[in-house]
Amino acid sequence: MNIPIDRLFKGIIDTINEVILPEISSPYIKSQAIAIGSILNSMIVKNANIHQRLLEQNNSLKNIFQQLTKILSDYKDYFASERLMKLSKEIN
């Protein structure tokens, strides 16, 4: 099973908040547990931002490859059309 990282972090945060924190009596240890939850929340946001940027880059590259296959298809006499069709299918 492949659990998305944001769900995994959210589960850890919930466990810290609902199970661990209520049992901690030391103020220092409690603050450390809260800090861990805060760091994990920050990582969820950073992960979402990274994912969005990678998705945008992927879409840009896909557009470039689609344009290239169109250009190549205009010169299909110079390129093996079977290979061009295979490339085109892989890109789309």
Cβ contact 66:92 at 8 Å: yes
Give a three-class secondary structure readout of 37-79. Answer: HHHHHHHHHHHHHHHHHHHHHHHHHHHHHHHHHHHHHHCCCCC
pLDDT in tens, 34-63: 999 999 999 999 999 998 999 999 999 989
Closest CA to 92 of 76, 68, 74, 57: 68
3-state percent breakdown (helix, strand, coil) of the chain, nearest 5: 85, 0, 15
- Confidence tier at 67 by pLDDT (50, 70, 90): confident
pTM surpassing 0.85?
no
Whole domain around residue 73: which residue ranges? 5-91
Count of domains forming the chain: 1
